[in-house]
A and B are shown apart, each in its own frame.
Chain A
Amino acid sequence: MANRLNWLQGKTVRKNTPAGSHSRSSSTPQVHSTSSTIFGGGVKDPSGRITEYSSDDDQCPVCKSDKYLEKKLRLLVSSCYHKMCESCIDRLFTLGPAPCPICNKVLRKLAFTPQTFEDLGVEKEIAIRRRIAKEFNKRLEDFSSLREFNDYLEDVEDITFNLINDVDPVGTEARITAYREANAALTLLNSQREEAYILSLRQAEELERKEKEMRAEELRREEEEERQEKESGKREIIERLERADGADAAKVVQRTKRERAEREASRKGVAPGKGAQALLRARMAAAAATAATKDTPHIPFQDDYYAYDDMFVLQRVYLDPSSEAVRKDREGIMRAGGYQVEEAWERAVRSAVAGLDLLPLDTVPSSYAMDQGGDVIMSSA
């Protein structure tokens, strides 16, 4: 029914719906060409974040057809970094290797790749670097000194630069071949190491994910239990109230609540289960991290504020002409900021008795820090 009414609403209905055996990447669903089967997803990015590059101004340099007339136009890049549309590729290379219509280099149909970057220079550089990285994978451990390692890196960069900018291509290729022959075993070993490293990373990631899931599961379970506990508690209270119809209701409620609290406490005492271990571990790691930068705790006030309390009896009101203006101030302008005359009185009385019994010093202080110029030494303050 819905399908039949689609034409009324102006919707186009695709005739060849996914009944075909095509399996295409979701990023290029509109492409219809035999070559799409060859290139599969095209872009080498399993996460799917990188998409194929295309713009509205695309035009095939061979057949001059453009996006305006040919909506499905898709340009692919040859191994000599020239763009061509899929129909041209089909036309030229179906019958086997043929020269590029632009630079005459012999190309094969399989060697065409989709474009990722707008600038083909970047595309080329990345391809070259990927290739070089596969071959030149020596590590710092493979050298006796840092200097040798740096020289090696310099060489690799030289080769890469030559390849990218087509400087002495024959000589460069010869260098690569020579290197490959000399270091075949080491290259293989290093590539295996790299794979092992990636694998271990992936495993660690997986482990972390599982742990997180477990913690969430545990939390959910605890919440559920708590909810049930609460509900059963309520039911218990109601039941007891029903049974003890004569007794004091408030007392029954209180007793039940107390009992429940005790039960809960005992349950929590033994509870720390498996999931808590992971949490504990994380917390210990955090504690170890902070222990390194631990400082002496700041204690703001340790003195005895009440030391003089036995020496005076504070009155609620004093006869005090000097503070009369503040007390009479009805709008509280003078008391803005929290001034309270009672506090001022207390402070004054306290300072009246503070140190009253201290005897004057008769001894000479021992240390006196002063530098040659007669100025105070800063650190002595």
Chain B
Amino acid sequence: MKETAKHVIVAGGGVAGMEAAGSLAEMGMRVTLIEKGQDPGGHLLQWHALFPDRRPAEEVRGYLRQKIEHENINIITSTVVEKIMHQGHDVIVKLSGGTEERADAVIVATGFDLFDAHRKEEYGYGIYDNVITSADLEDMFNKGKIAKADGSVPARIGFIHCVGSRDEKVNNNHCSKVCCVTAVKQAIEVRKKLPACEVFCFYMDMRMYGPYYEELYRESQEFHNVNYIRGKVSEASVNINNRLVIKVEDTLAGRPLKMELDLMVLMVGMEMSKSGARLAEASGLETGINRFLETGDHHFGNNLSRINGVFYAGTCTAPMNITDTISHARAAVAETVRYLNGR
């Protein structure tokens, strides 16, 4: 590599960060990829299969791992980017542990945190044994066993949409976009693995916005007998038989509905990551009312920050699926290269 190669720091080693780092390296840049966890991979590391085609998550993980296996990329793990400062022509990045890195540009790809389901206390996560999150269910898929806390096989599972999304009570008015189709995907997987188990999805709106999402929704009804009830669950409790009982209005029937469940899956949404929020505050990066990073322009400056040499990639700007995250990361790379060439 030429000594004159431009140096770009990528903050965050999830899908967006890995894609951005790999693309920059292919273009001859020197890249430092900084990941807070032990390994790059982000949330994708805990996922078993992906919507809409239910392909193994490992296929996309493999693609990304290969993408960052490049001589131009230096990966620093277990490290958090704490502050970004523009200085002269350079950008200085302060890392946890007190060290500093100097670069020509920075791509922020700090991603999202899953909503902490404990905060919706009325759903009983952490209180009732058989209330789990969509991520917990994915972990069960990874381990190959869908079971209640006592190890028995559930006869009825309910998926609760919009947990921590579209909900003023937890200060999240935004839609997390991907939870609807995740519920459909997981519902099908449950029905395939446990054909005797009934599955119900409780939704407010079914937001099947991506290619093949609506088809997956249809497939779930046509071939897998997944049931859909329109209404927001107001609360969950446990009855004397230690079964969960939920209350919801069946808004299409116009009457309150009660249902017993063996397992309740909370479709947790996306929030701005805590480390991303700290970085934004320390560096003076603007955040929106949804607390995600505010971009230079919603339509044509979607990767731009308001600091010279700092660019955004992926879900640090808004909830996104993997396809859009990868596209967004490539766009961030294009903006970065344009900036470096024009400097």
> A and B from one assembly?
no
Interface residues of B (CB under 8 A from A): none
Interface residues of A (CB under 8 A from B): none
